[in-house]
């Protein structure tokens, strides 16, 4: 038994120890899925508006053939400001309640203040067909700000270039 033999034994012991630590960590976290999925974080904007903008209804269904994910959301804006670019994260669960993954949808439409809207999406994503339930929440949104400039249409007040007196010009379909 030479030094190469003892070196291989030492490396094997180190690798075995690392594998045991990794298995303990996975068991403590709740499985391999939990190990690779970071916790869901909510933006400060969404946190501040959580009472005003509500996810009234959410549903994610997966078709077995083709793995088409069909998601539908009903959003209610009880606030005084219009919102847009609402990011929704859904945690996908199997029949035992174990997390099977997450998916994100973005509602880019503007939801007016004191209004509600419903949205449906179909996307081809790989989602396990073991998914039977979902838990969705709003994690980000933007308040619609006033435009930097507004376009105003000028009305023609008898200013025809070809007719200095404005005779024969039309405004709104009526001729003068």
Which position has the higher pLDDT, 19 or 172? 19
Contact 110, 142 (CB under 8 A): no
Q: How many CB atoms lie within 10 A of CB 116?
A: 14
Buried residues in 91-113 as b, exposed as e (16+ CB within 10 A): bbbeeeeebbbbbebebeeebee
pLDDT of residue 109: 93
Instruction: Report whether 168 contacts 175 (CB < 8 A).
Output: yes
pLDDT for residue 176 is more than 50:
no
| Whether pTM exceeds 0.85 | no
pLDDT tens by residue, 120-172: 988 777 777 778 888 999 999 999 987 777 777 777 665 555 555 545 444 44
The token duo for 56 is 């009234």
Q: Give the Cα-Cα-Cα angle 54, 120, 86 (nearest 5 degrees).
A: 40
Residue 174 has what pLDDT? 47
Neighbours of 42 (CB within 10 A): 15
Structure token pair of residue 77: 């804006």
**Average pLDDT for the chain:** 80
Check residue 83 and give its pLDDT.
94
Q: Count Cα atoms within 13 angstroms, Cβ side, for 41.
A: 4
Distance of alpha carbon 45 from alpha carbon 28, whole angstroms: 32
Highest mean pLDDT among 5-9, 48-52, 138-142: 138-142
């Amino acid at each position: 038994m030479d030094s190469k033999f003892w070196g291989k034994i030492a490396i094997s012991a180190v690798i075995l120890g690392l594998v045991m630590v990794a298995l303990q960590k996975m068991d403590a976290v709740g499985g391999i899925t939990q190990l690779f999925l970071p916790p869901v974080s909510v933006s400060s904007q969404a946190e501040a508006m959580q009472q005003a903008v509500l996810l009234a209804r959410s549903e994610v269904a997966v078709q077995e053939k083709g793995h088409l994910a069909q998601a539908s959301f009903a959003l209610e804006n009880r606030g005084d400001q219009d919102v847009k670019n609402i990011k929704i994260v859904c945690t996908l669960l199997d029949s035992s309640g174990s997390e099977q993954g997450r998916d994100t949808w973005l509602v880019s439409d503007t939801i007016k203040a004191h209004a509600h809207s419903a949205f449906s999406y179909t996307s081809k994503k790989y989602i396990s067909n073991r998914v039977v339930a979902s838990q969705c929440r709003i994690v980000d949104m933007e308040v619609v700000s006033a435009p930097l400039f507004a376009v105003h249409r000028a009305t023609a007040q008898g200013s025809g270039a070809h007719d200095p007196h404005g005779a024969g010009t039309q405004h709104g379909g009526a001729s003068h």
